[in-house]
Structure 1
């Protein structure tokens, strides 16, 4: 059993600094974020091993809410306890929150979705995700059964693109893993360490479900706009499977027909959300700022991310014991293989299909991939190169 690390101010500051850098440079959507996290937390800093990271990704893929943000929170919780999780969340989220609030206040109506540097950042995401998939596939699909499970997950996720396909794939993969790997026994020396008690888990889950029930009642019983806003954003963050791209149309249905903001304002914010790094759920900050200034932006951010925070706090205290159970461990072997397939499917669509449009895009992606994998350059250098290179390519072609 690994001894729990003592959380110090220096370790919390390190978590905040690293997550903030990721929040400033992680473009490309939730799957790309998992690639950035893998590069930083697993490959470079070795804060956790491949299996622990894959298990955490599998858990967060299964939970509703922003999977990449939940993975970041989970890494922070394991590294620095409750404060570590909070600092990891703030560092990764605040840069895009502030950027989108500023967009809402002073840049409404600007067309940023088709800018050349944005396209360059999409190509960066191709290189980052490809690198992450290669590393995870080597560790998590070493044999033919797990390669076959990954193929099944890839095919199902691409061919049946619904909100619940991903959950169904993970459940089936878990059953296959349980059946196929009966000779496997759980490894005893790869314990995930974090300072959260089970009582914290129970309280967090109670709060999650309690707010989901209580907020609509308060909304009907009062005429306070901020409660109605909080309820709409909290519900959106609680009931969405599939990440940020799924929550955007849900938020449109929640706020445009009701007159909170116009269709034009929503579409302007949609373009802005694609232009900033960090989680797409921060689009809520833009909507909140349109409705009620920066105060509304902060309220919307807290409301939409609170379910994700409560769910990861509620499940992690029980997750290590479950994953070390031999039966659960067998199922997780199948689940982790499926995660590789799901990531490959997301790598093709939407990342590849929206980024590699011309031969020059493929060449540029190959250059960025080489910078990251072979030349071992820091991810932020690759991001800057992608933005500048995308702008130059836009001017030339």
Structure 2
């Protein structure tokens, strides 16, 4: 197993490096932009364009994972060129451009789908290089804390995005153009901050194999890395997208429809408060147990969908658990993977795991959309509960095998 190395003379001792805070500011602004669109899409597609759940599931799956393979490209290119910031900037730039295209495509399902795919292509390119910048700037014993701080700042944007969308919809009604234009403005500012304020060490990293897509995939030969990759993909297959979670919360609790764009605020607020302390907890007690525990919390969210008449109490409980799920999984998985791969393949190693997750969630969104379209609400929820329970047991078993192998 590779252990992430660190050069003490180049790292800041005792605290999270400035690179993490700079990237956190970029993610904050970009997430305002992205979450404005995420909050608006269910209302726009389902209740304005009157798409069915099956069609929405296909578009949501496309938004989540159709361009997942670009994560491999982004990771390999940034590792090979030692230009993680430049590759991340291309990804952020592509997503920014799509915000100007959304108003042009109007109500065309094909146009919306293609633009959503391009937006996610940008995310696919930037995610692994960005996480590599964080992990390469941070000592291994503080990776959980660093990713927790970054995700906390990211989540401030996730809080503000739906709020901005709600205010716009309240003032002007369900009109797509202004939402996308304001979203684009936030994305442009985030890109400027990345270019102007994020620094990276230009010297090539010498530890580990020569970077390439093939070398990144070759990491799967390592038992520990392979188990993490498989387990995270299996869990991804049973993880409903945020859009479906919020739709189900609204349907299960009979919350007013106009509150749907605000539901992401609850998840984001909990994530904001919990991401950093849970990241530090993961550094102390183990990242994989915390990651797996987060999916147990998500299982509790699914169970709440079956509790009738819970009203706002049910909404609050579901969003609390959903926020804790993200705090225990999002940055924690990146911290776990970063400790398993050499510096020269840091972005590539992260991208392989992220690609597996994204493709799995693509399948999940499409499958659940068809299930919700053609089966009863309760049947769809029971299927989600059963699949996640099986996935948690499989992931737990894979980790138990890894522990057994380590002691032999």
TM-score by length of 1: 0.35
Could you say which structure has the higher helix fraction?
2
